[in-house]
Structure 1
Amino acid sequence: MEGDAAYGPSPLSGQGSSLALVGAYVLAGELKAVHGDYARAFVAYEQEMRKFVEKNQKIGLMAARSMIEKSNFKIFLRNLMLRVPTLMVVQFKMISKMIAKAANGIKLKDY
C-alpha cells in the first residue's frame, strides 16, 4: 500500500510514505490485538489513525492553496517570499515545524 494512494495527503506534503508505514504498523497491531477479528480491528485502526491522517492531509492542502492564490496581493506576497532569501528561510522553518508536528502527531502503541 502506498501512502499517497491510501491516505491522499498530496505529494506536496511529503508525508505519503510516513502515513503508509505508520498505517501498516497500526493496522497490523490492531489485527493482532483482537486476534484477527478484522471488523473490530478496522474500527480501532480508524480511531487510532484519523487525527494523524487529517493533520498530514492538511499540509498538502495548505501547500496546494499557496500555489494557486487568487488575489494579486497574495500572489505578490508569495513571490516576494520566494525571491527574498531571509523570508524564504523563515517560511521554510514554519513549514518544517508544521510537518514535524504532523509527523509526530500519533503516539504509537507497543503492540
Structure 2
Amino acid sequence: MYNKLKELLFNLGQTILKNRYVLLTTTAFIWVLFFDSNSLLNRHKLNNQFKQLESEAEFYKNEIKELEKEIEALEKNPEALEKLAREKYLYQAEGETIYILKEKE
C-alpha cells in the first residue's frame, strides 16, 4: 500500500514536471511572489509604510490646526502674548530682574 502510494505520487510529480505550462505558471508565480520589484512582499511593506505616513500626516494636520488657534488667540490678546514671551523666551521688561531656578534631578 505504501509503495503504491509512493509510486502514484512519484508518477504524478513527474507528469506535472513534464508539463511545461504548469512549470511556467509555477515559475511565474514564484517570481512575482518573491523576486519581482513589485512583489507581494514589497507591496506589503510599502502598504504598511503608506499607512504609517498617513497617520503621521493626520497628526501634523491636527498640530497645525492647534497652532493656528494658538496664534489667533495670541494675536487677539496682548497679555497672553506677553505671558508666553515671559515664560518661554524669558522676556523681561526694563528694570526687571529674572531669576531662573532649576530643580535637582
Q: Would you call these one fold, judging by a TM-score over 0.5? A: no
Structure with bigger RCO (C-alpha 8 Å, 6+ apart)? 1
CA radius of gyration, larger in: 2
Report the TM-score, using the length of structure 2 for normalisation.
0.30
